[in-house]
């Protein structure tokens, strides 16, 4: 399962999720955390995937949505994109990635952008 936000980190998570699914020869579940359509053009045609959409801003909290979907599907790994945030930024805005890292009942692969991608 991969949690995809509308950000460069979300794109990196999707790429890593595709690579993991290919390596493990498994299907991919994409939880779309953005309010736009996920760009699936980089997903190979041979890879089977399912996209779980949120219904809008009034839908579940993004972290809760991912945690709920983990419970509803037989997945054994979660892929997320992360970025460095200041302590003040975390305190004011929270961190979906941090919550997923701490609360996920399955292993989490955290993908960060390289220095050239910042």
Give the C-alpha separation, 3 to 91, whole Å.
22
CA neighbor of 86 nearest in space, from 75, 76, 98, 70: 98
Residue pLDDT tens, the chain, 118 long: 999 998 899 999 999 999 999 999 999 999 999 888 999 999 999 999 999 998 766 777 889 999 999 999 989 999 999 887 666 655 544 588 889 999 999 999 999 886 445 4
Model-level pTM? 0.86
């Amino acid at each position: 399962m991969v949690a995809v936000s509308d950000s460069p980190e979300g794109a990196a998570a999707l790429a890593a999720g595709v690579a993991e699914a290919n390596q493990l020869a498994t299907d991919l579940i994409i939880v779309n955390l953005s309010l736009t359509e996920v760009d699936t053009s980089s997903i190979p045609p041979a890879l089977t995937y399912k996209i779980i959409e949120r219904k809008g801003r009034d839908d579940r909290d993004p972290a809760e949505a991912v945690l709920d979907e983990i419970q509803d599907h037989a997945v054994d790994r979660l892929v997320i994109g992360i970025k460095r945030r200041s302590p003040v930024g975390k305190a004011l805005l929270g961190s979906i990635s941090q919550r997923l890292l701490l609360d996920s009942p399955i292993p989490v692969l955290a993908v960060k952008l390289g220095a050239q991608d910042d």
